[in-house]
């Protein structure tokens, strides 16, 4: 069984993430989406709770029969081992991603050299898309349709209205 893992914070999952997930799901028998709790990322907590982030990805990937979604709050290599995945798949966008991704891949290799990291290049349309940009656009009432799966669009609208 050839199993891969796509890890991330997914706060929230974007159309760019989904594109990488769809393409990776075609390369593996099974693909696990690992949603990191990331409670202290950038000082504040994520906009969406871990349960909300998991549910949004589940709904956005419901059409992909070999994809499952699981939260994790451990080292990524330990979680990969736990779910039986031997390859970590990350999306790579603009060059600024490279340094951070290179560091994480090197450290993960240092922690467990049996687990390989593989990168899938974002398509040009999504090169500059990020969860943080999506959150900011939504917070200021801008249009996020197309930048995120439709289920996320609705969830973002609800979150922004709740905060008002
Ligand atoms: O979506 P993100 O924030 O780029 O994802 C980063 C993530 C969750 C993949 C990374 O922070 C991670 O692997 N966290 C788990 C803890 C861990 O293993 N850290 C060491 C990796 S260098």
- For the chain, give the longest Cα–Cα distance: 48
* Active-site residue list: 17, 41, 93, 131
Q: Are 1 and 30 in contact (CB under 8 A)?
A: yes
- The answer on pLDDT for 105 being more than 90 is yes
| C-alpha span between 14 and 91 (Å, rounded) | 12
Q: How far is the CA of 164 from the centre of ligand 1 (A)?
A: 31
- For residues 72-105, one letter each, b for 16 or more C-beta atoms within 10 angstroms of the residue's C-beta and e for the rest, the string is beeebbebbeeeebbbbbbbbbeeebeeebeeeb
| C-alpha span between 93 and 123 (Å, rounded) | 8
- The answer on pLDDT for 42 being more than 70 is no
**pLDDT band at residue 91 using 50, 70 and 90 as cut-offs:** very high
Residue of 4, 7, 47 to test ligand 1 pocket, by largest number of atoms within 8 Å of CB? 7
pLDDT at 39: 84
| C-alpha span between 51 and 37 (Å, rounded) | 9
Q: Which residue has the higher pLDDT, 112 or 162?
A: 112
Residue of 38, 77, 108, 119 to test ligand 1 pocket, by largest number of atoms within 8 Å of CB? 38
Beta bridge partners of 90: 119
Q: What does the mean pLDDT of the chain come to?
A: 95
Q: Which residue has the higher pLDDT, 95 or 112?
A: 112
Q: How far is the CA of 76 from the centre of ligand 1 (A)?
A: 7
| C-alpha span between 7 and 17 (Å, rounded) | 10
């Amino acid at each position: 069984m050839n199993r891969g893992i796509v890890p991330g914070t997914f706060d929230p999952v974007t159309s760019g993430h989904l594109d990488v997930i769809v393409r990776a799901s075609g390369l593996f028998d099974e693909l696990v989406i690992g949603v990191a709790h990331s409670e202290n990322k950038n000082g504040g907590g994520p906009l969406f709770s871990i349960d909300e982030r998991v549910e949004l990805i589940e709904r956005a990937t419901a059409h992909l029969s070999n994809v499952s979604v699981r939260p994790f709050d451990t080292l990524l290599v330990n979680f990969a081992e736990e779910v039986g995945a031997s390859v970590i798949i990350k999306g790579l966008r603009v060059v600024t991603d490279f340094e951070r991704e290179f560091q994480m891949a090197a450290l993960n290799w240092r922690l467990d050299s049996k687990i390989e990291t593989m990168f899938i290049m974002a398509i040009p349309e999504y090169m500059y898309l990020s969860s943080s940009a999506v959150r900011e656009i939504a917070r200021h009432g801008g249009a996020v349709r197309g930048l995120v799966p439709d289920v996320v669009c609705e969830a973002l609208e609800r979150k922004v209205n709740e905060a008002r």
